[in-house]
Amino acid sequence: MTNDPVCTAADPVADWHPLDNPARASLLGPHAHFAEGHGQALRYPAQMCPFTALPDEPDAGSWRDVATLLGPGGLAVLAATQVLPPPDWELVFNGAAVQLVDDRMAEATDSEATNSEVPDSEAIPLGPDDVPEMIALVKLTKPGPFLPRTIELGNYLGIRRDGALVAMAGERLRPPGWTEVSAVCTHPAYRGQGFASRLTHAVVAGIRARGETPFLHAEAANTNALRLYQALGFRPRGRVHFRVARVPAGEPGG
């Protein structure tokens, strides 16, 4: 399948890497001040980010900790994982995705790294007052979850036309040394003008300025997005899944 942009991409990873479990690496690292937990289970505040984080190889005790943390009927949203829930948990959603990284900085000279990304003059910082418009744009375009407090996870940039927010992109998970580019979206009436590429470049410039490496996730079936991100310099690292599992009604912790 030579037309599949993923097939030629993923390098084998022999040792553990922060991106193997990015939500947990974030909640144990730069986002530790946001973490809510019980035992081995961690999560973000409900209005900030939907993800629940487990150890790399969760055992029965790990899943009991999740059940206690979320309560009976609660939804465990698992990010970029290969882990499957226990058989008695309902698998509500199972979406295949591709994890991509932009690690050119490690291979570039200082001069190349400095000049490879230039902030966009039209990319304006977005703040709490912009959240209602951001949520509306996400609902329309569906790039992934964006909640009332998601903006606290990192920097968000947008482009406006006639005062209205028509495109945005920002930062979400932050494993040590890495930052996820997320919520890249453009209003349907303004697509085809390069806003997604420009905002992605601008967000990447900010990440690189901190000395961190950008990464992101795209639906495995979204070949247009995959081609776009590869054209911007990202390379697929491997396939992952975003899964949602429901805590059984009889689990402890309710």
Domain 99-238: CATH class, spelled out = alpha beta
Strands 213-219 and 178-186: parallel
pLDDT of residue 71: 97
CA separation for the pair 170, 231 (Å, rounded): 19
pLDDT of residue 10: 40
CA separation for the pair 218, 226 (Å, rounded): 7
Q: How far is CA 216 from each of CA 41, 172, 207, rounded to the nearest angstrom?
A: 23, 9, 12
pLDDT of residue 3: 40
Residue type, 34: F
Tokens of 83: 């882990």
CA separation for the pair 248, 230 (Å, rounded): 40
Identify the three-state secondary structure at position 68: helix
Residue 2 CB neighbour total at 10 angstroms: 6
pLDDT of residue 11: 41
Q: In this structure, which topology does domain 18-96+241-246 adopt according to CATH? A: Aminopeptidase (3.40.630)
Q: How many residues does the chain have?
A: 254
CA separation for the pair 65, 46 (Å, rounded): 17
Tokens of 164: 């209205």
Mean pLDDT, rounded, for 210-222 = 97
pLDDT of residue 120: 83
- Provide the sign of the torsion angle of the four alpha carbons 141, 146, 148, 150, taken in this order: negative
Strands 156-161 and 75-81: unpaired
**How would residue 246 be classed by pLDDT, with cut points 50, 70 and 90?**
very high
Residue 73 scores a pLDDT above 80 = yes
Q: How far is CA 200 from each of CA 63, 235, 252, rounded to the nearest angstrom?
A: 36, 14, 43
pLDDT of residue 33: 98
Q: Which residues pair with 179 in a beta bridge?
A: 214
Domain ranges across the chain: 18-96+241-246, 99-238
Residue 220 scores a pLDDT above 80 = yes
Q: What is the CA radius of gyration of the chain?
A: 18
Residue 12 scores a pLDDT above 80 = no
Angle at 214 between CA 211 and CA 218, to 5 degrees: 175
Per-residue pLDDT tens over the stretch 147-186: 999 999 999 999 999 999 999 999 999 999 999 999 999 9
User: For the purposes of burial, counting CB atoms within 10 Å of the CB of 199, is it exposed (0-12), middle (13-18) or buried (19 or more)?
Assistant: buried
Residue 132 scores a pLDDT above 50 = yes
CA separation for the pair 242, 235 (Å, rounded): 19
pLDDT of residue 252: 55
Mean pLDDT, rounded, for 234-246 = 97
Residue 70 scores a pLDDT above 60 = yes
CA separation for the pair 213, 185 (Å, rounded): 21
Same fold, 18-96+241-246 and 99-238: yes
Q: What b/e sequence results for 206-216 when a residue is b if at least 16 CB atoms lie within 10 Å of its CB, and e otherwise?
A: bbbeeebbbbb
Per-residue pLDDT tens over the stretch 84-122: 999 999 999 999 999 999 987 544 444 444 444 556 889
Q: What is the average pLDDT value for the chain, to the nearest integer?
A: 89
pLDDT of residue 118: 57
Mean pLDDT, rounded, for 133-143 = 97
**What's the pTM value of the predicted model, to 2 decimals?**
0.88
